[in-house]
Chains A and B, each alone.
With several copies, the nearest count.
Chain A
Amino acid sequence: MSTTTKAAPIVHTPDFMNGDEFRIPVFKLLKQDGSPYKNAKLPDLDKDKALRIYRAMLFTRVLDERMLAAQRQGRLSFYMQCIGEEASVIGSTAALDDEDMIMAQYREQGALAYRGFDVDEFMNQLFGNEHDYGKGRQMPVHYGSSKLHYMTISSPLATQIPQATGYAYGQKMAGQGHCTITIFGEGAASEGDFHAALNMASVHRVPVIFLCRNNGYAISTPAHEQFSADGIAPRAFGYRMKVIRVDGNDILAVYQATVEARKLAVEHNQPVLIEAMTYRLAAHSSSDDPSGYRSKKEEEAWRDKDPVLRMKLWLQEKGWWSDDDEKREQESLRRDVLEAMKRAEKREPPELDTLVSDVFDEVTPILAGQLDDLKAHIRKYPEAYPKGAKSLNGKDAGGAKHA
Chain B
Amino acid sequence: MPKMNMLQAINDALDIAMAANDKVICFGEDVGIFGGVFRATSHLQEKYGRDRCFNTPLVEQGIVGFANGLAAQGSTPVAEIQFADYIFPAFDQIVNETAKFRYRSGDLFNVGGLTIRAPYGGGISGGLYHSQSPEAYFAHTPGLKVVVPRNPHQAKGLLLGAIRDANPVLFFEPKRLYRASTGEVPEEDYELPLGQAEVTKEGDDITLLAWGAQMEIVEKASELAEKEGISCEIIDLRTIVPWDVETVVESVLKTGRLVVTHEAPLTGGFAGEIAATIQQRCFLYLESPIARVTGLDTPFPLTLEKEYMPDHLKVFEAIKYSINY
Contact = CB atoms under 8 A, between A and B. Distances in A.
Nearest to A386: B306
Chain A, interface size: which category?
Answer: 35 or more
A226 B58 contact: yes
A39 to B, nearest CB: 38
A154 B72 contact: no
Interface in B36-56: 37, 51, 54-56
Task: Name the residue among B25, B142, B303 with the largest chain A CB count within 10 angstroms.
Answer: B303
A46 B100 CA distance: 41
Given A227-B57, A370-B297, A136 B267 contact: no
A286 interface: no
Interface stretch (B6-14, B89-97, B208-216, B250-258): B89-97
A332 interface: no
A354 interface: yes
A356 B32 contact: no
A359 B106 contact: no
Contact of B306 (A157, A187, A387): A387
A166 B67 contact: yes
Contacts of A287: 37
Interface string B107-135: 11110100000000000011111100000
A166 B317 contact: no
Interface stretch (B73-81, B148-156, B172-180): B73-81
A402 interface: yes
B58 A190 contact: yes
A117 interface: no
B246 interface: yes
Contact of B291 (A134, A378, A403): A403
B69 A221 contact: no
Task: Name the residue among A78, A359, A384 with the largest chain B CB count within 10 angstroms.
Answer: A359
Contacts of B233: none
Contacts of B203: none
Contacts of B75: 170, 173
Contact of A221 (B30, B74, B130): B30
A133 B67 CA distance: 24
Contact of B29 (A77, A155, A218, A378): A218
Interface string B289-325: 0011110111101111011100101100110010000
B267 A366 contact: yes
A133 B104 CA distance: 9
Interface residues of B, number: 90
Contacts of A180: 69
Nearest to A201: B66
A361 B145 CA distance: 11
Interface in B218-259: 242-243, 245-246
Given A136-B302, A403-B266, A403-B280, A151 B109 contact: yes
A226 B62 CA distance: 12
A365 B242 CA distance: 8
Contacts of A371: 296
Contacts of B302: 128, 136-139
A134 B106 contact: yes
B34 A219 contact: yes
Contacts of B303: 128-129, 136-137, 349-350, 387
A261 to B, nearest CB: 18
Nearest to B75: A170
A190 to B, nearest CB: 4
A204 B54 contact: yes
B59 A190 contact: yes
Interface in A342-360: 349-350, 352, 354-360
A146 interface: yes
Contacts of A220: 30, 32-34, 55
B110 to A, nearest CB: 7
A156 B129 contact: yes
A134 B292 CA distance: 29
Contacts of A69: none
24 contacts: A78-B125, A133-B106, A134-B105, A139-B129, A146-B109, A151-B72, A159-B92, A163-B66, A163-B68, A180-B69, A197-B66, A200-B57, A200-B59, A204-B54, A219-B30, A220-B30, A226-B58, A349-B303, A361-B102, A364-B242, A366-B267, A367-B297, A384-B306, A402-B318
Interface of A: 77-78, 101, 103, 128-129, 132-139, 142, 144-146, 151-152, 154-157, 159-171, 173-174, 180, 187-188, 190-193, 195-197, 199-200, 203-204, 218-221, 225-227, 287-288, 292-293, 349-350, 352, 354-361, 364-367, 370-371, 374, 377-378, 380-381, 384-385, 387-388, 400, 402-403
Interface of B: 23, 25, 29-30, 32-34, 37, 51, 54-62, 64-75, 77, 85-86, 88-89, 92-93, 96-97, 100, 102-110, 112, 125-130, 142-143, 145, 166-167, 195, 242-243, 245-246, 266-267, 280, 291-294, 296-299, 301-304, 306-308, 311, 313-314, 317-318, 321
The 8 closest A-B pairs by CB, nearest first: A162-B65, A196-B62, A166-B69, A136-B303, A170-B73, A163-B69, A220-B34, A155-B129
